[in-house]
Chains A and B, each alone.
Chain A
Amino acid sequence: MAKLRGRGIAAICYPTGMNLGGDPSQTVIVARPDGTFVVNVASVELGQGLRTVLSQIAAEAIGASVEDVEVRFGDTQLAPHDTGTFASRTTHRMGNAIVKAGQEIRQILLDIASKILEVSPQDLEIKNGKIWVKGVPDKSITVREVASQAQFVYNTPVVGKGHYVKPKSIVDPDTGESDPHSTMAHGCVVADVEVDTETGQVTVLQLFTVYEVGRAINPKLVEGQIIGGAVMGLGAALRETVYPRYPQITHQTKSFREYVLPTAGDIPKIIYKIVESPTPTGPYGAKGVGEMVANGIAPAIVNAVYDAIGVQITELPITPEKVLKAIREKSQSVNEHRV
C-alpha cells in the first residue's frame, strides 16, 4: 500500500449575467441633506460583499468619498426593479446602472460647484469627495458641501438614475445561433493531491488558482470568493451529494451528520492570483466572479487523482469507496492481462 501523488489541471470560462440577457437592473441614487448619498438597489447582500462593491462603484462614478455612500438593498418598496442577485450578474449589471446614475450626479455636482467657485464646469476636477479647479488645487470645495448647497441654496435635486440591460438574444431553434453572454471571465486551476491506496482517501495538498475577472473592484472581496469557491468545489469533488445512491432516492441525506461539508481543517493551501483584462461592457471593466471560482476545482482534483492512480473516476463525488474500487479494478485488469 502506498501514498500516490498526482497533479491535475482545469481551464474554464464563465459568462457574466443571465444567459441570453434580458435581465435588467435599475437604481436611483439620492443625496441626503448633509451631502452624503444613498444608493437604492433591490439586489441582495448575501455575505458576498455587495454593499461594499457597489458603494465603491458609486463613489468612483460620483467622485464622492466611499465613506459618504451608503448602499440600501433588498426592498421592493424602496428600490426600483432588479432581476435578482444570481448569475454572477450584480457587479456587472447593477454596477453598470450605478455608473450611469453616479455620472448624472457628478454632472449636477460640477454644475453647482461651477456656480459656487465661479468657473466653468469644464475647468473642474472631481475625485474622492473633493472638487477643485484644474491646476489650482487650493481653489476647492467638498462634494458634501456642493451636494448640500444644491438642495438648500440652488434649488436643485441631487438625484441620479441608472439602468442597464443586455437586450435578450433570440435563439435560432435549428442551430442554437445566439448571443448568450455579455462577457466571459476565465480561470485555471492546478491541484496537487495524495491518494492513500489502502483507504481510498484523497487529500488535496494544494490548489493553485488563477482568475481573470475583468477588473477586481475590491481584490479583498474577490479573494473571499476565490477561497469560498475553492472550498465549495472541494466538497463537490470529494464528498457532497444529497442522493448517495442517485438516481435512487434511498439514503437521502437529512443533516450535516450524513452530509459532511468541508470545514476549516479540510481547507488545503490555496495559492491564488487575480488577473485583469477589463471588458468594455462592464463597470470599470469588471466581469462577474462569484460563481466561476467554484467551477474548476472539482475537475482539477479528479484529473489529479487520474494522474495519481491511472484511472479517471467520472462520477462525483470521488469518495474513498469509488477510489478503492477504481484502484482494484485497475490492478485486476493488469493481472488479467499478465495471465
Chain B
Amino acid sequence: MSDQFSVVGAPIKNVQLLGHVTGSTQYVDEISFPGMLWVKAVRSPVARGKIKKIDTSKAEKLPGVVRIITAKDVPNNIHVNMAVIGIGPPDEPVLPEDEVKYKGEAICLVVAKDEDTAAKGAQLVEVEIEELPPVLDMEEALKPSAPVITKWGINAFIYGSGMDGATMPGRPGRPFFLVKRGDVEAAFKKADYVVEGSYLIPPIEHAPIEPHVCVAKPEPGQRLTIYTTTQAPYFVRDNVASILKIPPSNIRVVAPAVGGGFGGKVDPEFEMQVAVAAMCVGRPVKWRWTREEEFTISTTRPAIKIEIQDALSSSGLILGRRARLLHDSGAYTRTSPYGVIKSTVNLSGPYHIPNVYYEGYCVYTNRQPSSAMRGYGVFEVSYAVELQMERDARKLGIDSWEFRFKNAYRNGQVTATGRLIDDAYLIEVMKVAAALSGVSLPHHLLQMSSWG
C-alpha cells in the first residue's frame, strides 16, 4: 500500500462478512408480510405453439386459490426491458396472448394462499396448444426457408437503423452489426498463410446460490414496493412502471443483499409478473423460483459461435482478420443486441490487426432467452480469439508467447473501431505471467513494451 493513500489499497475485511457467516444477512426470501400470497406459473410444455384455449375453471375451484392471472390482466402487456436504454423494439409479452416461443414460457399465473396450493392450482389449469416446429439451430434460423419467429420478418436483430441503441435513426438497417477497418481483401491477398477456425460456447447457467425471489407489496395510492433479487433496481422500477401504467416514482424497488448474480439478475425477468399479481389481488405476493426454473427459465449465457479467418505474414504478424459471430438470443431480445455489439467491437482481442471485417448476428431461436453473464460478449470472444491465436502460432511455427508479444496492441495505435489506444498494458502483464509460471522469455521479447 502506497503512502499516497490512507485506505485505498488496504486489504480490509469485507464488511458483509460477519453477517454472511453468522446467517444474519437479510435476503429477499426472508421478507414476509401478513396476508401474503404466493405465485406459481403455468408453463408451456412446447418450444413453439399457438395457444388455443386456457381453461382455469378447475384451478379456480381449488380451495386456497385466490386468482388466476392471464394476459388480459396486464395493463400494458409488453416487457420493455432494454428499451429503457434505447434497444428495441420491445418484443416480449409479460404473459403471452396467443403464442408461446420457448418451452417453459409462463402462460398464466396462479395466486394462492401458499406455495404448495399455487403449485397444485397451476397443475389444474388446462392449456390447449397447437404445437409448431421450433427453430433451434442458428444457421437454420438465418435461412430464408426458416419459420419466422420474430415480429419483423427475419430471425435476426436489425442493426444500423437506430433501434440498436447505438446508431442514429433514419437509415436502413441490416441483419448484423458491422465493424470494418482498413482493406481486408488486400491483406488476404498479401498473406503468406490463411488460418481458419470455428468455435462454440454453449449456453451456461449462472447458478447463484440464491434463486430469483421477489415480494411485491401494494401500498396506498397506486404505489408498490418490490423487494427483489436484482442487480439493477432502476431497470426493475422503470419496466414495472411501464407495464402497470403508473409513474415510476410510485414504485420503490429494494434489493437487499443479493446472493450472487453473475449477470443472471440484470434482466427484470419476473418482477413484472409478481407486480401485476399483487396489484390484481391488492395483497403482498411472493414468488420464489425453484432450482429447476433457474436452469430452464432464467436467462443463460448465450450460445455463441465464432468463425475466424486470419491473414498471416511469415514474419508472424496478423495482417487481417475476418470474423462472423452468431449469438443465440433465444426467443426474445432482452440484452442480446447489446451483447452482440460488445462482442463484435472486441473481436481483435488485445491485438493490433490493421485490416478487419467483422459481422455480428443476434439470432432468435425457440429457447429460453439468453442475456448477460460474467464477461458478457467478451468471455466468448476471448475464448475464440485465444484458440485462434494458438492455431495461428502453430501454423507459423512460432512460439505462443512470441506470437502474442509481436501482435499485442500498443499505445498510440487504434482499435478495430478507430479508438486511440491509451491504456495498453498487455505486454507488461504477459512478462509477469511468464515469470510467475517459470518461463524465461528471450531477450528480444523482454525488450518490448506497450509504448514501443
Mask, B58-86, CB within 8 Å of A = 1, is 00000000000000000000000000010
Q: What residue in chain A is nearest B426 (Cβ atoms)? A: A186
Q: What residue in chain B is nearest A183 (Cβ atoms)? A: B423
CB distance from A26 to the nearest CB of B (A): 10
From B112-120, B315-323, B414-422, the one touching the partner chain is B414-422
B residues in contact with A86, CB < 8 Å: 231-232, 261, 263, 266, 372, 376
A residues in contact with B165, CB < 8 Å: 20
Q: What residue in chain A is nearest B172 (Cβ atoms)? A: A173
Interface size in chain B (residues, C-beta < 8 A): 124
Q: What residue in chain A is nearest B351 (Cβ atoms)? A: A11
CB < 8 Å: which of A77, A192, A218, A275 contacts B252? A77
Is A267 close to B, CB under 8 A? Answer: no
Across the interface, do B136 and A247 meet the contact criterion of CB distance under 8 Å? yes
Question: 8 Å CB contacts to A: which residues of B261-297?
Answer: 261-263, 265-266, 291-292, 295-296
CB < 8 Å: which of A82, A171, A179, A243 contacts B341? A171
A190-B437 contact, Cβ under 8 Å, with A12-B382, A261-B207: yes
CB distance from B120 to the nearest CB of A (A): 20
Mask, A203-235, CB within 8 Å of B = 1, is 000001111100111111100100001001000
A residues in contact with B10, CB < 8 Å: 56, 66, 218
From A107-115, A152-160, A297-305, A325-333, the one touching the partner chain is A297-305
A residues in contact with B365, CB < 8 Å: 247
A255-B47 contact, Cβ under 8 Å, with A11-B430, A188-B430, A236-B204: no
| 17 A–B pairs (Cβ distance < 8 Å), ordered by A | A10-B382, A42-B233, A45-B16, A47-B20, A74-B255, A75-B252, A86-B232, A174-B160, A177-B418, A186-B425, A209-B433, A210-B432, A241-B204, A259-B295, A295-B379, A299-B382, A316-B200
Is B345 close to A, CB under 8 A? Answer: yes
CB distance from A202 to the nearest CB of B (A): 15
B residues in contact with A183, CB < 8 Å: 423
B residues in contact with A246, CB < 8 Å: 200, 202-203, 303
Across the interface, do A19 and B345 meet the contact criterion of CB distance under 8 Å? yes
From A29-37, A116-124, A133-141, A286-294, the one touching the partner chain is A286-294
A45-B257, A277-B423 given; 18 more Cβ-contact pairs under 8 Å: A11-B350, A57-B8, A66-B7, A75-B254, A81-B234, A82-B233, A83-B85, A86-B231, A172-B167, A173-B160, A173-B178, A176-B181, A178-B418, A215-B9, A218-B10, A241-B202, A242-B300, A299-B383
Chain A, interface residues (CB within 8 Å), range: 35 or more
Across the interface, do B383 and A316 meet the contact criterion of CB distance under 8 Å? yes
Question: 8 Å CB contacts to B: which residues of A300-316?
Answer: 300, 302-303, 306, 312, 314-316
Across the interface, do A173 and B167 meet the contact criterion of CB distance under 8 Å? yes
CB distance from B136 to the nearest CB of A (A): 5
Is A180 close to B, CB under 8 A? Answer: yes
Q: What residue in chain A is nearest B408 (Cβ atoms)? A: A11
Is B155 close to A, CB under 8 A? Answer: no
Is B346 close to A, CB under 8 A? Answer: yes
Q: What residue in chain A is nearest B430 (Cβ atoms)? A: A188
Is B14 close to A, CB under 8 A? Answer: yes
For the complex, what is the distance from the CA of A10 to the CA of B382, rounded to whole Å? 8
Across the interface, do B103 and A254 meet the contact criterion of CB distance under 8 Å? no
